Amino acid sequence: MPNEQAITIEDLKARGFQVEYLSHARAILSVDFPEALNELAAVLGAATIPIEEIIAGGGGEAKGTQRLRRALTELKWPKTTFTVQKIINGKEREAISHEIDHVRTFNAGTIALEIEWNNKDPFFDRDLENYKRLHADGAISVGVIVTRGKSLHDNMKSLVRKFIDERQIQSFDGLKEWSYEPTAKQRKAVETRVNRKKKPLTWREAFVDKFVNDKFAESTTHWKKLEDRINRGVGNPCPLLIIGLPDSIVTFHEGKKALEEVLEAEGDEPDDVES
């Protein structure tokens, strides 16, 4: 790709990505790690998540985010375990390990990156505290966290409803061909809302509400939960770059083709993913 066509972090912001630098991270990255910014912008700029993957995955890590992980790994951002040892008079007294999903080492130092698509929000505490310790020990220069941005989190119901409406799905049977099978509890919850005497919902309304509240609840990892922790000083003073994925990365044109990778790799998700 010619340099004049290369995607930049500013281009991502123009596309709706949320980008925030903390503790002088902008200066550090722009001066010492411009290559890191270019690589992150290129990978994130090419990222898409078909709505079919979100439905079929039941809210777990979409294959689109797993493709993002593979793209980073191919650019030499592999999963890495840092082990910090305390040795007194030649004897190990303490050893603490920190596993980071993506780490890239440059001549100027090391950048650590975590992608929190849809975990329980305490994973942010883990990430930020790990970054704080690793930065204090001189192991990393900057920590990066990529998560669901405000527009993606806030508009998830609209996105799922659009999928349901476009395909004229009126029942759980209509979701079978999209590889979604509700649990007995989920089915009952939707049916209860549809059949109640006071203010009953349509099946579409009840399903969308239940699906999104179950899978993308406020207690999961998204921009506001990360921002709340940063405002409380969690992870400070490690320089941070935080990036929120916008709703525009969700696509609607892949159709059944988007399910192929989901079905082929069913059950093959990272250990820390919560659905």
Residues 244-259 have pLDDT tens digits of 999 999 999 877 777 7
Give residue 3's pLDDT.
Answer: 47
Report the alpha-carbon distance of residue 4 to residue 127 in Å, rounded: 35
Lowest-pLDDT choice from 55-59, 108-112, 163-167:
55-59
The dihedral sign for the CA sequence 229, 123, 32, 6: negative
pTM of the complete model: 0.90
Question: Looking at residue 62, what is its pLDDT?
Answer: 67
Chain mean pLDDT for the chain: 91
Which tens digits make up the pLDDT trace of 3-43? 457 899 999 999 999 999 999 999 999 999 999 999 999 99
What is the Cα–Cα distance from 110 to 125, expressed in whole angstroms?
A: 21
| 217, pLDDT greater than 80 | yes
When pLDDT is cut at 50, 70 and 90, the band that residue 274 belongs to is: very low
Distances (CA, A) of 16 to 41, 45, 53: 13, 11, 21
Distance CA(79)–CA(69), nearest Å, equals 10
- Assess whether pLDDT exceeds 50 at residue 269: no
Confidence band (pLDDT; 50, 70, 90) for 59? low
Q: Put residue 222 in one of left, alpha, beta given phi > 0 → left and psi -120 to 50 → alpha.
A: beta
Q: Please choose, from the candidates 264, 224, 215, the residue with its C-alpha nearest in 3D space to the C-alpha of residue 66.
A: 264
Q: Per-residue DSSP letters for 218-255?
A: TTBSBHHHHHHHHHTTTTTTS-EEEEEE-GGGEES--T
| Residue carrying the six token digits 């192991």 | 139
- Domain boundaries along the sequence of the chain: 7-180+220-262
Kindly report, residue by residue over 101-146, the tens digit of the pLDDT.
Answer: 999 999 999 999 999 999 999 999 999 999 999 999 999 999 999 9
Architecture of the domain spanning 7-180+220-262: 3-Layer(aba) Sandwich (3.40)
Band (270; pLDDT cuts 50, 70, 90): very low
Rounded Cα gap, residues 20 and 13, in angstroms: 10
Q: Is 92 left (phi over 0), alpha (psi -120 to 50) or beta?
A: beta
The pLDDT, as a whole number, for residue 263 is 63
Distance CA 246, CA 61 (A): 16
Residue for token digits 């912001």?
A: 13
